Amino acid sequence: MFVTDGAATMSVVGCSLQKYGCDMIHVTKVDALIANTKKVFLKSLKRLRAFHSRCPNILEPPQPIPTRWGIRLEAAFYYAKYYEKIKAVILEFNPNEAATIKER
């Protein structure tokens, strides 16, 4: 996972690294990714069940506390590892079911 502040120069660096064979996902706003995924699964037993049935061997997405950086880093590593699987689960949800799913 290549995390930046979204500056144009950092995007260029990320693209350059990919050209040299680095297999990575460029996330400019990891906080937004964590917060939006947290909202999708928060208070929805139906969506949590769907997650568990699709990804039975993966723990639920973490719900870090904004002021605890160690926990936020663990969350970032979690998303780096399981990003594609979580994305696939969320894309199966009906976006008209909840506003948080539309933000995906």
Q: What is the reported pLDDT for 12? A: 77
Is there a domain that residue 36 lies in?
yes
Q: How many domains does the chain have?
A: 1
Is there a domain that residue 68 lies in?
yes
Is there a domain that residue 10 lies in?
no
Q: What is the reported pLDDT for 72? A: 78
Is there a domain that residue 7 lies in?
no
Is there a domain that residue 9 lies in?
no
Output phi, psi for 39, to 5 deg: -65, -35
- pLDDT by position in tens, the chain (length 104): 666 656 677 667 777 777 776 676 656 577 788 888 888 988 889 999 999 999 999 999 888 776 676 787 888 889 889 999 999 999 999 888 877 777 65
Is there a domain that residue 46 lies in?
yes
Q: What is the reported pLDDT for 89? A: 94
pTM metric for this prediction: 0.67
Is there a domain that residue 53 lies in?
yes
Output phi, psi for 67, to 5 deg: -90, 0
Domain assignment of residue 82, given as a range: 29-102
Is there a domain that residue 1 lies in?
no
